[in-house]
Structure formats: C-alpha cells, structure tokens
Amino acid sequence: MRKKLIWAAILMGFSGLVAQIVLLRELMVAFHGNELSIGVILANWLLLESAGAYFLGRVISQTKRKLGWFILVTVLFTVFFVAAIYAVRVFKEFMTVIPGEGLGIMPMFYISFLILLPVSLLHGALFTSGCNLYFLYSSFTKPIQNLNDNLSAFSIARVYIYETIGTIIGGLVLTYLFIPWLHSIEIALVLALFNLVVCIFLIKPFWQSHIPIKTRAASIMLIILTIATLGLLFSPGADKIHFFSVEQQWKNHHLVHYQNSQYGNIVVTEREEEYTFFSDGLPVITAPNPDMVYVEEFVHFAMLSHPSPHKILILSGGAGGVIDEILKHDVYRIDYAEVDPLLPEVLKEYPTPLTKKELRDTRVNIKYLDGRFFLKRTPRKYDIILSGFTDPSTLQSNRFFTHEFFSLVKNRLNPGGILILGMPGSLTYLSPELADLNAMVLNTLENVFPYLKIIPGDGKNYYLASRSSEVEHTGYVEMIERIEDRKLDLSLITPGYLEYRLHPRWLDWFTENMEGSVSKINRDFKPLGVFYSLVLWNEKFSPSFNKLFKHFEKINLYLMAGIFLLLFLLFLPVFLRIKNSMKPVLSLCIFSTGFAGMLFDLILIFAFQVLFGYIFYWMGLLVTAFMAGVMAGSIWMTAYLKKIENSIPAIIKLEIVLIVFALLLPFIFIKSGSLLIYPWFDYLLRIMFLILSFISGMLVGAEFPLANKEYLKISPNISGTAGLLYSSDLMGGWLGGILGGVVLLPVLGLVETSIVIIFFKITSLILLLFAAKKQNVLFSNV
C-alpha cells in the first residue's frame, strides 16, 4: 500500500501544478493578460490550499475511513478542475461584462477566489490526509518505539518530496506535451483519467469476497467515471465542451479562431466580413474597416511632422490601416514587428483586401520577433518609429513606455527622427487618475528626449518625441504644406481639421489640468506605469476600492521598515512570555519563508516578462525549476535530519542565506538587460532564470523539514504539525502574492521589494535567536 501512496503523492503534485498553471493561464486571458493578476491568482490558490490543508485535511485525518475520504477528495478535485475551466470562460456572462471590457483589482480577486475555491481547497486537503495515510501505513512496516524515531517528521518530509517530484514532472509535461498538443478541457480530462486510475489501484486491496457494499459501490463508480472520461477523450466530446465554453466566453460574437501562443491568447471574430483580432481579450486590429480617426491621426501627425520620412518602424498594431496610410507617403522601407509574432501569421489566415495590400507590399518587412527585441538587435535607424501600444497596463506593454525603452528608441532614430505614441486622453475632463498616468509617461519621455510635442485628444493623447527641435516647431501650416507637396489623399486630416486639433487652446487646457500630477519616472524594473494603469482601471471598474488602492502609492522603504520594527517590538514581549516560544517562532519562520518564496517567484516572473515578453509560455518552466529546487532542498535536509538532534542552528543558517539571496537577486537582472543585444546571452540568461528559480526553491524547501522536526518535539500530533506548518508556508505565500504582485513590485520595484524580504527575514531571524537562547538550544550538540 505504501508504494501506491507514493504514486498517489506524486500524482497529487503533478495534478496540482497542472491545475494551477492551466487555470492561471485561463484567468490571465480573462483578465486581459494583466500580469499583476498572477500574484492575486497565486495568492488565492495558496490561501485556499492552506485552508484545505489545515481545516479540511485535518478533519479527514480524524475520520475512520481515511483512505475512502482521500479517494473521494481526489475524485472531487478532478471534477471541479474541469468545472473551473468552464467557469473562467463564462463568468463574464453573469457579470454583464462584454469581451474587451476591463476588470478592476477587486473583481480579479473575488472572481479568481470563487473559481479556485473548490479546486484549491480539495488539493490542499490531499496533502494533510496524504501525510497521515503515509504515516499510518509506514507504521505497520516500521513500528514506532518513541517519537525521537523521527517517523512523523520523516513521513511529512517524504510526502512533501514525492509531491514535489510530481510537480516537476507536471511542469515539464505541461510545457512540452500538454500545452502544445491539447486544449485546456483535454488536459483536465487527461488529469482526471490519471487520478481515477490511481484511485482504483488504491481501493483494489479491499476487493475481497466480503467487500462492504459502500466499497463495492465506490469501486463501480470509479470504473464508470474512468470509462466516461475515456469516452470523452477519444470522441468529439472533449472538443464539443471546449468549443461550447469558448463560444460562451465570446457570446454575441462569431468566433472563427481561438489560439494560445507563447505570448498570450489570440482570438478572431467575424461580422459581415469584418474581422476583429483580439490579443488577451483586447481588440488590437480591425479590418477592412478600422477606426480611421485613430489610424489617420496616429500615422499622419508623425509623418507630417518630419520633412522626409522614408524609413519607418511600426511596433504593434500596424496591419489593418496603419501600414496603408504610411504607404501613401514616399517611404522606402517599413519594418513591422508585433508584440506577439503569431499575430501576423493569423492575419494571413483571415485576409481582407486591406491587409493583403499592406502585407504584400514589397516595402513592408514583417519581423516575426517581439518588437523590443527587434529594436535592441537591429542595426538600422529610422525616421519615424510608431509605438502602437495604447497604455502601459501590463508588464508586456509597459516595456514600451519605460526610460530604458525610450533610450533604446533614441539610439535607433536618425537625426530629426520622431517617436510617436498614444495614451488615453480627454478634452472634457482629465481625472486625477488619468492625469497621473499621462504625467508619468511624459516625465519619462522628457527625461530621455530634449524635445517633445503634445497633441491632446478626446480619447487619445499623442506624444511626439525627438532629438530635433523641429518636432516642436512644426505646426498645422507646415503640415498642410506637406500634404499638398506630397499629394496625399486623406479622408480625415484636412486643413480645417489640423487647425482645430493643433489649436493652442487644447495644449493650454491640458497643461492646466496636468498641474499637481506625479513627477515619477517609469522604469523596466520599477513599473509604475502598470500601477497607475491599474489605478485608472479601478476608478472605472472598482471605484469603491480605489480610495484605498491609491494610498498604496505612498508606500516606501521607510514605511516598510517602520512596520516590521513595530511588529518586532509588539511580538517580542509576547514570545518571551510564552513557555514554548519556539512554536510561534517556527511558524513565523515558515510564514516569512513562504512570503519570500512567493516574492522570489514573482520577481523572477516579472523580470522574465520585462526582459523577454513571453511569460505566458515560460511560467510553467519557472515554477517547475522552483519546485525542483524545493525537492532538492527537502531531500537534502531530510537526509540531514537523521544526523542531528537539534536543527535550530541549521534553520538560523538558512535564514541568513535567504537574506543574502534576496540581496543579490535583483541586481543580476538589472545588470543583464544591456547584454541582450547578443543572441548568445539570450540563451544564457534564460538558463540563469531557471538556475535562480531552482536556488530560491531549494532554500525554501530546505527549511520545511527542519521546522517540522523541531515542532514535532513540542507537538507530536503529525496531522496538526503538517497542517499548521504547511498552512503557515502557504499563508506566507498568499501575503507575498497579494502585496508583492499588486503593490510592492509595481510601486517599489524589484530592488526595494527584495529589501522588504530582507526586513521580514531579519525580523524572523532575530526572534528565532531570542527563542533559541531562551530554551538553550542554540549551542546544543549538532
């Protein structure tokens, strides 16, 4: 039986990782690719896993039929996983939210919480009950003589390791087999099949002649469910569920294409021969009848501001009108790169007369490469660079609004060259949130370019930046002359329209309403653009929460240092009075390590997205590397447990190493970004991400077995110890996910967030030293 439980524990880890990443990807699409939702989603997963491990798992462990309940929970987990995928795709129908409409941070929180609730809760319960079962069946082969036999700690550590092995296998299988070949419903059904088969093997030893009716009924039900799952997988049933749920997700749209790429999700809808291309739920291209007001303003404001624009670069949103308008000028070359290189391929699958004309022109060169990567590596220089990103609402798009990006653009512009980009705007009311977002981008542009032209608009503000003063001096009179000289046939950009749009009163009104706005600069590793975009979204979609959310902007290192100092001063007297002060201190150490582990994960995910732009694909690999580290740390420390009586010195050393790692981590990425111009360094840096994920996981995983051993000396209840420390780990991760993903990383950036980790770990380390000294265990024989 113990061998079967080992396979069950491995599958438990495999299932948890696959379910987590699949639901994370589905929710990210529903939340329009906003990477800040990663922290919220992972935090909710950990919170619910923690509740399941501590409450539901302990209840199951106290029942008489522990194995039966374990099997039931496993089956329910697989059923609710399929249901959760469906729920992600249809929840907007019940909220009266249309495709393309944004969501604030609070809807992201409670929607992900409710959808993950049954899946995560049940999976958390499996760990605690699995530890208890492993301990129970190990007891028959190795009788317990006393608690110092370490079997309790050994059982928890073993299940933790087996689960982690499954997690590693799950990450690799998901990334290289499931995602490329199966859609989410098929993945969930394959997972259900694996779990049902293992459940049948677990219940098989009880198939005897005097088998109870309940056991016989359970066995028959498992067999029926297995056959039904096989039937769905090897028939059109799985595809029908998938397509029906996707159609529900895009209700009232004629869906013609649905595909996941390395960078996100691409959807194409069709209505009366009009195609709309969506990236992560947001419309990016419409053809053959685009928004001509936006297209003509975006193109011709820049082209008419330059005396002779011949070499053009478009970064996102080129097809479907923009390229066609540029081709009206005497251009020699147009390089076109999308943030998702798959999008031009999909455009070719659904051609229109407009897109065929654009993409087949010999002057147009499609670059199947992330726009920022192309800009970093190309030796070419351009007269006009058009950045088609409309706001820095995600880390992926924020990469095109930072000081580092603008500096890169400046070096790729010819003398007199112009960068144009658009931001949300208004000519009637500029809210404080909208003003702050625009001010942050303007501050960043002004920090890089000496000359800047602002064209306020109703719906879109345009910013033209250059090293030449000509961009500021070119007015509507010069633009009208260039229209006539170039014999341009334009629909919207007429002399009267130009005079109206470029009238000084609009700039005066804009300047007046921007007074008192923020003076901060947006950077790659301090993505304030994402934070201010989220503030603006919250104002639209979660206004009641936004008053609190705006206070997060005031967070700084001095405030965080004061908070941790206050907590230390409050808790130290309490710890000193408690007889067994080591119990809460060990829980705090595990809690702070869970907090640090989650933030290490988020720092690596955020840094990868900033540097490469396709975390949607690599997320599973980074989590797998982290969990491989957790396994290595757990195996290492489990072996070490047999050699020591007192593990407190080892925990102290680990706390110090975690502090040093947090100090070094962010500087590696800050120094690495400039070297990405070399293709060889691209591969080296990706390997470095995996190594750093592994190391962070190893440090986190190593502390759990040590803390278990010490805690079991004080509280010998194996279910209680496993549930409490596992829950402490997960609850620390939850806090790290919420604070780190939504507040710390966007507002403080990578470096200062790492310093917050250091503050927390120093606090837990000092309290651990006090507790160890109080109980005279610090210098015990090791």
Place 573 in a pLDDT band, splitting at 50, 70 and 90: confident
- Please state the rounded mean pLDDT for residues 164-181: 90
**What pLDDT shows up at residue 686?**
87
Please give the residue that has the higher pLDDT: either 583 or 234: 234
Place 716 in a pLDDT band, splitting at 50, 70 and 90: low
Q: Which residues are within 8 A (CB) of 649 and not within 5 positions of it... i.e. 6 or more apart? A: 778, 782
Place 154 in a pLDDT band, splitting at 50, 70 and 90: low
Place 193 in a pLDDT band, splitting at 50, 70 and 90: very high
pLDDT digits (tens, 9 = 90+) for 7-63: 999 999 999 999 999 999 999 888 888 888 888 998 899 889 888 887 888 788 788
**What pLDDT shows up at residue 777?**
59
Place 208 in a pLDDT band, splitting at 50, 70 and 90: low
pLDDT digits (tens, 9 = 90+) for 326-366: 999 999 999 999 878 788 889 989 999 999 999 999 999 99
- Please state the rounded mean pLDDT for residues 565-576: 83
**What pLDDT shows up at residue 719?**
56
pLDDT digits (tens, 9 = 90+) for 540-553: 777 777 777 778 88
**CA dihedral of 527, 532, 537, 540, whole degrees rounded to 10:** 180
Give me the helix-helix angle, 749-774 and 557-577, nearest 10°.
Answer: 10
Place 315 in a pLDDT band, splitting at 50, 70 and 90: very high
In whole angstroms, give the CA distance from residue 327 to residue 763. Answer: 62
Q: At CB < 8 A and 24+ separation, what contacts does 775-779 make?
A: 775/581, 775/582, 777/582, 777/646, 777/648, 778/648, 778/649, 778/652
**What pLDDT shows up at residue 298?**
96
DSSP state of 97: P
**What pLDDT shows up at residue 143?**
40
pLDDT at 142 over 50: no
- Please state the rounded mean pLDDT for residues 129-145: 65
**C-beta of residue 424 within 8 angstroms of C-beta of residue 416:** no
Question: To the nearest whole percent, how much of the chain has pLDDT over 70?
Answer: 92
**What pLDDT shows up at residue 708?**
80
pLDDT at 780 over 80: no
- Please state the rounded mean pLDDT for residues 687-699: 93
Average pLDDT over the chain, rounded to whole?
87
pLDDT digits (tens, 9 = 90+) for 505-541: 999 999 999 999 999 999 999 999 999 998 888 887 7
Question: To the nearest whole percent, how much of the chain has pLDDT over 90?
Answer: 52
- What's the number of CA atoms in the CB half-sphere (13 Å) around residue 481? 9
In whole angstroms, give the CA distance from residue 757 to residue 337. Answer: 38
**What pLDDT shows up at residue 567?**
85
pLDDT digits (tens, 9 = 90+) for 83-118: 999 999 998 887 766 666 667 778 889 999 999 999
In whole angstroms, give the CA distance from residue 187 to residue 776. Answer: 53
**C-beta of residue 206 within 8 angstroms of C-beta of residue 4:** no
